[in-house]
Amino acid sequence: MSAASAAPLKARGAPFRVMPGFKLSLGFTLFYLALIVLIPLSSVFLKTFTMTWDAFFSAVTSERVMASYRLTFGASLIAALLNVVFGGILAWVLVRYKFPGKRIIDALVDLPFALPTAVAGITLTALYSSNGWFGQFIEGVLGIKVAFTPLGVVVALTFIGLPFVVRTVQPVLEDAEKELEEAAASLGANSLQTFIRVIFPTILPSLLTGFALAFARATGEYGSVIFIAGNMPMVSEITPLFIITKLEQYDYAGATAIAVVMLVVSFLLLLTINLLQAWTRGKAKKS
Amino acid sequence: MDARKGEEIMSTNTTAAAGVDTALPTARRFEPNVGPVVLEPLWVRTVLITIALLFLTTFLIVPLVAVFAEAFKKGWEAYIAAIIDPDAISAIKLTLITAAIAVPLNLVFGVAASWCIAKFDFRGKSILLTLIDLPFSVSPVISGLIYVLMFGAQGWFGPWLQAHDIKILFAVPGIVLATIFITFPFVARELIPLMQSQGSEEEEAAIVLGASGWNTFRRVTLPNIKWGLLYGVILCNARAMGEFGAVSVVSGHIRGETNTMPLQVEILYNEYNFAAAFAVASLLALLALVTLALKAFIEWRLNESDADDSALRSTEH
């Protein structure tokens, strides 16, 4: 209705607006956006334009920075995969089953968003160091060191990414049409077949979106990682920390060059996430 | 009607796109009142619930307990002493000041942005939405770096600032700016989908009946969006008080002057003063718990008003 009545007005070119404040609110929005976000962010790119191509290339491909990419992206990948598996199970359980304490658990899932990263960092370090609650057990029984190794980075990034998969899969599972499941069941499918053929295809886009969100967050993460990582160059030094190291050496250009690489990666991830969500939307429309 | 519904879904999705906090769209939904039609065998359910709870206990509950256990390891007196330490007090003050500046500014921005995006049609709206979400996809370290590039000694405005003896970097203004950047999208991304879903019929009616723009906003819009507004403010505040990476880059770590609470935690921890570090950390953990509790409460309120929209609106007018 409203769309139809608005159309002829638009076609005439100058829409008559009842609502006031368009220029004021849009003007302020654009001004504030430019001042706080766009101008400062553009400084990163402008700074790299002052570098020669060779200087830029050698800054972003030095041996130490390559090792930090491997760690950052590798650990983020493992952490995001862990979150897909366990976050998927968590979302499933929260939507479909009833058990005591469910509401509190549902609220607690957001803890990694609410807890400052430095607090998460020192706490995970205390837990997984050699004399910590988890650390003494893992080291004593399995002989594996977690804190101050790349494994510690994975632990911190798993913590940070935990809510993403849960929160993207949950609404899709809630909206999943029961009729389809009923139909599958009445046609003789058992619950595993129903899951593989009916439910899994429905939640796959949201699982992938959650994965991408968790991965994107993990690649930029700093606070929760630096305490538990040990920060040894070539071994357990993440890329964001390397940027800070460069800054502390007053190598602004070097720091900025690596920042540009990270920014380009996060913009590509953002694009991927948007495409994945378009796919989710398309699926939702079809059903 | 259909058109607007589509738009609403789209906007919820764009807001979730860049994101850190995708919690909202989910949590506001109704719990389905009927269980799944095909229930898995009991052993499957038990195994899945056990895995989920074990994972949650290991990664969330034990760490949360550990913060407080470590904080009180040396007893109450050491805990109190760590918190009333002058450096800790000044860190708490700076954290509160930073949030008190950053949150209202982002609140005003959030209202302005959602007003023009939700109530009007214009070209480039989806680009604007993406740009608003941008700070969420930038690493905190880079968020700090950009202000170093602008205001540092080698930065764009560095020489001018030095000549006029204005300190931004390694001082309070830098910390505030980095915090504003980091928390920039929070209020806007909560309000935009909410205001889009509410449409503008009520405001149009008020305007046509002769109310001024400001009165329309205050008497009609504000009551409708107050819970969403509060939700955004609470998330924004939690992040503003807890931000570490970006603030760490611009702060300069001057004790008693440019240390926020998370930075104070880091300094104490690096000095092996673990009990004191966890004492300050426990305050931040409490903040997180209060945030989660308020969030759950507001989600409940929003659900109520969704469920009983017309009734609620008529009582509020």
**pLDDT the model gives residue A2:** 43
Q: List the single residue in A30, A33, A115 with the smallest CB-CB distance to B288.
A: A115
Query: Chain B 52-91, CB below 8 Å of chain A: which residues?
Result: 52-53, 55-56, 58-64, 66-67, 70
* Cα-trace Rg, chain A: 24
A43: which chain B residues are within 8 Å (Cβ-Cβ)?
146, 149-150, 155-156
Tokens read off for A189? 């499918």
Interface touch A116/B262, C-beta < 8 Å: yes
End-to-end Cα spacing for chain A: 24
Per-residue H/E/C for B10-24: HHHHHHHHCCCCCHH
Which residues does chain B have within 8 Å of residue A92's beta carbon, measured at their own beta carbons?
Answer: 48, 52
The reply to whether B211 touches chain A by the CB within 8 Å rule is: no
Question: Mean pLDDT, chain B, as a whole number?
Answer: 85
- Cα–Cα–Cα angle for A52, A56, A234, nearest 5°? 155
Contact B149, B156 (CB under 8 A): yes
The residue of chain B with its CA nearest to that of A128 is B63
Neighbouring CB atoms inside 10 A of A18's CB total 12
Q: Dihedral sign for Cα B127, B133, B136, B141, please.
A: positive
Express each pLDDT in B16-25 by its tens digit: 333 444 334 4
Q: How far is A36 from chain B (nearest CA, A)?
A: 6
Q: Which runs of consecutive H residues, i.e. helices, occur in A97-140?
A: 102-108, 111-114, 117-128, 135-137
Q: Give the integer Cα–Cα distance in Å for A220 and A244.
A: 13
Tell whether B173 lies on the interface with A, counting CB pairs under 8 A: no
Contact call for A280 and B152, based on CB within 8 A:
no
pLDDT of B230: 94
ipTM of the complex: 0.88
- In sequence order, what E strands does chain B have? none
pLDDT in tens, chain B (317 residues): 344 444 333 344 433 333 444 334 444 444 444 455 557 788 889 999 999 999 999 999 999 999 999 999 999 999 999 999 999 999 999 999 999 999 999 999 999 999 999 999 999 998 999 899 999 989 999 999 999 999 988 888 888 998 999 989 899 999 999 999 999 999 999 999 999 998 888 999 999 998 988 999 999 999 999 999 999 999 999 999 999 999 999 998 888 889 999 999 999 999 999 999 999 999 999 999 999 999 999 988 888 776 665 454 444 44
Of the candidates B225, B145, B214, the one whose C-alpha atom is nearest the C-alpha of residue B188 is B225
Please report the pLDDT score of residue A126 as a whole number: 95
The minimal CB distance from B207 to the residues A20, A32, A170 is found for A20
Q: What is the DSSP letter of A286?
A: H
A131, A112, A137: which is closest to A225 by C-alpha?
A112
Q: pLDDT at position A197, please?
A: 86
Does the structure show a pLDDT above 90 at A220? yes
Mutate to test the interface with B, among A22, A23, A25 (most CBs of B within 10 A): A25
Cβ atoms within 10 Å of A197's Cβ, excluding its own: 12
Q: pLDDT tens across A45-92, in order?
A: 998 988 899 999 999 999 999 999 999 999 999 999 999 999 999 999
Conformational region of residue B229, where left means phi above 0, alpha means psi within -120 to 50, and beta covers everything else: alpha
Q: What is the pLDDT of residue A15?
A: 53
**Are residues B134 and A41, on separate chains, in Cβ contact within 8 Å?**
yes
**Predicted local distance difference test score (pLDDT) of residue B5:** 40
A25, B115: Cβ pair inside 8 Å? yes
Residues B37-79: tens digit of each pLDDT: 557 788 889 999 999 999 999 999 999 999 999 999 999 999 9
Q: What's the per-residue H, E or C state across B114-168?
A: HHHHHHCCCCCHHHHHHHHHHHHHCCHHHHHHHHHHHHCCCCCCHHHHHHCCCCC
In angstroms, what CA-CA distances link B20 with A264, B62, B133, B134?
Answer: 18, 23, 10, 11
